[in-house]
Amino acid sequence: MPTIKSSYLGNLRTQATHVLSGNALLTDAPLDNNGKGEAFSPTDLVAAALGSCMVTIMGLVAEREGISLEGLSWEVTKIMQGDPRKIREVQVNFHWSGSAFTPALSQKLKNAARTCPVALSLDPSIAQTITFDF
């Protein structure tokens, strides 16, 4: 059974449904590529997946260490290039206003983020610029 079922809705819009949960998401082509820009673009999802994957793996480390990352936030910026049109860089900026981590734990979290499955799966030509404000 597939994990995701998808369909083309027309007008450069798709819908993808996570089979197990039934959750669905829409994608639109971006405004600068003849789309409506009313939903995530496919390349936006790649960038969002990188940030979410990093935090998921950081969360696993934090749970093992007996700490909570609740309140951790991040912004992701995707930078495109033309000819060929593709993602050139993804910038992920993490912010933490909770209690300070020890230097050792901070390094574990940073290493976990940088080695998440999405980070390791992206083509090396896509720059991953990561900043940690904690």
This prediction's pTM: 0.93
Cα distance between residue 100 and residue 86, in whole Å: 38
pLDDT at 99: 82
Tokens, residue 110:
């940073």
In angstroms, the Cα distances linking 12 to 17, 64, 79, 87, 94 are 17, 43, 21, 19, 32
Instruction: Say what the pLDDT of residue 100 is.
Output: 82
Domains of the chain: 4-33 (no CATH), 42-133 (3.30.300.20)
- Which residue positions in the chain have pLDDT lower than 50? none
- As a whole number of angstroms, the distance between CA 77 and CA 59 comes to 21
